[in-house]
Each structure stands twice: as structure tokens, then as C-alpha cells.
Structure 1
Amino acid sequence: MSSEQRATLLHRFERISELPMLLLSFGFLIIFLLVESNVFEATITLVLDGLLWLIWGIFLAELVAKLYLAPDRLHYLRSHWFEVIIIVLPFLRPLRLLWLPIVLARLWKQSQRALRRKMPAFIGVSSLVMVLITATLMFIAERGSGGPITSFADAIWWALATITTVGYGDTYPVTALGRGIATFLMIAGIALFGLLTANVAAFFVEEDTVDRSQADLAMINERLARIEQLLAEIVQREARER
């Protein structure tokens, strides 16, 4: 198989697997956060851990397939180092928490590619990921502090109220780490809301531009039809005079 054929097959494989792997990365992130937050009994945690290993196996199969199709395997490994780290980290148990930023990097890259022309969907996915991450970190930071956030459900409610800039005030962090997380989520919520507003405004401006362009095109077509009619009448008149 030539290098050109390998590159073509690799591109086709990446395009087909893009959305499924995005969903798997998203599921992996949720399950990982649930496992690390220790909110479930040992049996449920064991099942969730098994799901993590299952998704890890799919990540491994994907990497092997891409390496097989890649024209330059060494270059591919260098340019996709985060995929290699995802595969290696499970064997380095003390560094397991590093899975979080690595999977986030993969999820961000995949969502940018898969949803680059669907900005509302991209904003929705980003918001959901942000809620889950900050809620988990907040639950870990506030657990046992005596504050109003005493369960994972409280942390989810707090994250939803904060990222939507509603801020009911019934749940709030009391630790320094929790307040730092809250500050980050406030800024992220304002940024996402501004991005959504700009996207909606751009949509209406684009629709208005399209409508005006269509109106101008219709007017031009009408004038061309009139010119053609006049030319036909002139030709007929000259033919009669002859």
C-alpha cells in the first residue's frame, strides 16, 4: 500500500470515527469524574471503573488502527502525543488524575473539528462539560467543610446556577479552593453567554444579508427580462421595416 493510499484511508477513518470518538471521550470524562468523586458505593464504582477500561480499550484500538494507516508512524505519534498518554496513564496509577486534562484536550480538539460549523452545539457541549468538571471539583473541595454544598447533587445545582449567571445564592463555596473554582466558572459562564449572543446576532445578520441579496438578484433578473423584451421588439420592428 502506497503512502498516498494510507493517507487517504487514514483521513477517511478519522472522518468516520470523529463523532463516535467524541461521544466516547465525553462519556469517559463523565465516568472518570464520577469515579474520582467517590459518590457511589464500591460495587457501582467497580462497574464504572470497568466502563473506563472498556473505553480505554476502544481508544487503544483506535490508536493502533491509525498507526497502521499512518504513512509516517513516528510523526503521527509526535503530533498525537495526548492519545499515547491516555493509553499509558492507566499503568501509572499515581498519575491517574492526569487523565482529566489529557482527555479534556482530546475532547476539545475533537469537538472543534466535529462541531466547527455548529456553534450552538459546540457551546452546549462546552457548557455541559464545564458544569460536570466544576461540579466534581467543587464537591471534592467542599466535602466536609461544613458549607451548604454537602452532596454531588448540590454541586451540580450550584454549577448550573452559576454558569447560567442566575446565582440563586442557596449554595455557595466556603473554602478558598471552592471560591477559586467558582470564580473560574463565573468567567466561563459570561464568556459562553457572550459567544452564544454573538452567534445568534451573526445568524440574523446573515439571514438579513441573504434576504437582501435575493431581493437584489430578483430585481436584476427582472431588469434583464425587460431589456431582452425591448431588444426583441426592436428586432421585430426592424424586420417589418425591411
Structure 2
Amino acid sequence: MTEHPMASPLPNILGLSGVGPHENKRARKLGRAFEGPMIFVAMWIVFEWYLQSKAERPIAVTAFTDWFIWGFFLLETVVLTIAVDNKKRYLVNNWANIVIVAAGLPVLWETLPHAGGLRVLRLLAIFIVLMNTSGTFRKIMGRNHLGPTLMVSFVIIVIAGTVMAAIDPNVETPLDGIWWAWVTVTTVGYGDIVPGSTAGRLFGSFLILMGIGLFAMLTASFSSFFMQQDEKDLIREEKHNTRRLTEMATRIEALEGKLDRLIRYSEQVEQRRLEELNKKR
């Protein structure tokens, strides 16, 4: 993965910064080369999960691809670590890659069933790749502190869901609480989980108000970004028109100079002709 100048701080926080812009050209080129295959791996991970969820027994193909995906993450980490100049800084800034390789060994999933949840880390890495390869997404996340705002929003949703699971009897597990907090903050409100206690309803009211303010801020950030883009386009067009007008003015001045020289030349010719006529008389 390649770190971009306009990237949000989210990859840095998650330990998936990729190859920094300060690294050598070869390392940056290798980082970009891994992005395309990584997107393909992301698509296969999602498809693999679908196959496993529908199959009644393990599929041999998914067992093979688990090893292939793990090997791909290992290959990327090893190759880029060798290619970069500052290996220590690269490994520190990409500590999540090391965790994915160490904890994502398919053997662990076979011996420790609960370790299968570590597969989520692979999708996290894929999300960062997709985010970094999207220029528009990088620009949006880099403006108006949108990246940190989304991170804070995620933390609030997790905390709120956990608290709701503790104070309200209708919310049985923290995961149910997080789902309730998510649909509440987004003002969707499916109604599948509804607070039943007074404390739960008061807390839900507070979260609804927070969600309104949060999404108003996010909407303002997105609107500001697109307005700035339109403003940049107008400024660019004005500069282009100004440059064309300047060129036209320069050409007009040059034409005026040529006309003045032609007029002076014609006057000189006419004056010489008159002088010759006078001499003949």
C-alpha cells in the first residue's frame, strides 16, 4: 500500500500507512503495484465469506485460498520492508500488517475456532487500500477533519451501544446495542430494537440529538468539499479565460504595431511619389 499526501490520518491510526511519500521511488512503485492485486483479494474475501456462510461443511477451495491470502499479506510485508529505506519506521507505521500475518495464520483458525474472528483484520486492511486508491475519498477525508470525525463517531457508537446493553433490558448483547446505536445515530430507526426502560429512553434521546448534530456536521463537511471543488473549477476557468484574453490583447497590440508600420510605410511611399511628381514638373 502507498501512502498519499492527501490521505486522512485514519491509516496512521490503524497501523496501515503503507509506503510513505518520503521513501525511495522503487519502494513507492512496488507499493502501488500491490494495490491492484489487493483489491482483487478484497473481492475474493467477501465472496469467500459468502460461500462459507452458505455451505453446510467446509469447502476445500476456501481452505486453499485462506493460505493464499495469508501468503499474499506475508509477501507484501516482506517485499515492501526490504524495499523501503527506513525499515523500522515502515514496520512501526504498518504494525497492523504484522498482526494480520502473525494472527491470520489459517492453522490457528483450525485449532482455535474463536481465532477465526481475526479474519476481520484482513477486511480492515482492504478497506484502507480502497480508501487510499480513491483520490476523491482521500481529498474528502483530508478536509475539515472528516477522518477524525468519523473515527470519533465510530467510538461513540460502540460506547453508546455497550452502555445501552448494560442499562436497558430490551438490548440483550453489546452487538445488539451497537446496531441500535448505529441506526439511532443515523436517524434511520428500524424499530427492531427499542429501549424499554426510562433510562434507556433518556439515553436514546440524548443519542438522537447527538446523531442529528453529528450528521449535520458530516453533511456540512461533504457540502463544503464539493463547493470548494466547484469554486476551484470556476477559478481555473477564470484563469484560463484571463490567459486567453491576455494572449488576445498581446496579438492585438502586435497587429496594431504592424498597422502603424504599414501606415508609416504607405505615407513614406506616398510622400516619395509626390516628390518625384514635383521634380518632373
Q: CA deviation at 1:234?
A: 0.9
Aligned partner of 1:119 among 137, 141, 151: 137
Q: CA deviation at 1:23?
A: 5.6
Secondary structure in 1 matching 2:188 = coil
Aligned length in residues? 210
**Kept after mapping to 1: 8 A contact 2:140/2:225:** no
**Kept after mapping to 2: 8 A contact 1:86/1:102:** yes
Residue by residue, what CA displacement relative to the aligned partner does 1:175-196 show, whole Å, maximum 9, x if unpaired?
999x89x959947655543332
Aligned to 2:253: 227
* Cα distance in structure 1, aligned partners of 2:74 and 2:219: 36
Residue by residue, what CA displacement relative to the aligned partner does 1:70-128 show, whole Å, maximum 9, x if unpaired?
45555543342221111111357566656646863x4565345322x3239977xx99x
Aligned to 1:18: 35
**TM-score, structure 2 length as denominator?**
0.51
* Cα distance in structure 2, aligned partners of 1:40 and 1:86: 22
Taking structure 1 as reference, are residues 41 and 167 closer, same or farther at Cα in structure 2, changes over 3 Å only?
Answer: same
* Cα distance in structure 2, aligned partners of 1:198 and 1:112: 20
* Cα distance in structure 1, aligned partners of 2:265 and 2:250: 23
Taking structure 1 as reference, are residues 183 and 53 closer, same or farther at Cα in structure 2, changes over 3 Å only?
Answer: farther
Share of identical aligned residues, percent? Answer: 12
* Cα distance in structure 2, aligned partners of 1:54 and 1:210: 48
Secondary structure in 2 matching 1:170 = coil
Secondary structure in 2 matching 1:118 = helix
Taking structure 1 as reference, are residues 210 and 162 closer, same or farther at Cα in structure 2, changes over 3 Å only?
Answer: farther
**Kept after mapping to 2: 8 A contact 1:89/1:96:** no
* Cα distance in structure 2, aligned partners of 1:99 and 1:19: 20
Aligned to 2:103: 89
Aligned to 2:188: 167
Taking structure 1 as reference, are residues 58 and 208 closer, same or farther at Cα in structure 2, changes over 3 Å only?
Answer: same
Aligned to 2:74: 60
Secondary structure in 2 matching 1:78 = helix
Q: Cα RMSD over matched residues?
A: 5.2
**Kept after mapping to 1: 8 A contact 2:39/2:129:** yes
**Kept after mapping to 2: 8 A contact 1:82/1:102:** no
- Return 59-68 or 227-236, whichever deviates more: 59-68
1:60 counterpart letter in structure 2: L
**Kept after mapping to 2: 8 A contact 1:7/1:70:** yes
Taking structure 1 as reference, are residues 40 and 66 closer, same or farther at Cα in structure 2, changes over 3 Å only?
Answer: same
Q: CA deviation at 1:31?
A: 6.9
* Cα distance in structure 2, aligned partners of 1:199 and 1:170: 33
Q: Which has the larger radius of gyration?
A: 2
* Cα distance in structure 2, aligned partners of 1:26 and 1:122: 24
Q: CA deviation at 1:15?
A: 1.1
Aligned to 2:92: 78
Alignment of 1:136-215 (within 5 A): 165-172=186-193, 174=195, 183=207, 186=211, 189-215=215-241
Aligned to 2:272: none
**Structure 1 unaligned regions, length at least 5:** 1-5
* Cα distance in structure 1, aligned partners of 2:170 and 2:246: 72
Taking structure 1 as reference, are residues 67 and 212 closer, same or farther at Cα in structure 2, changes over 3 Å only?
Answer: closer
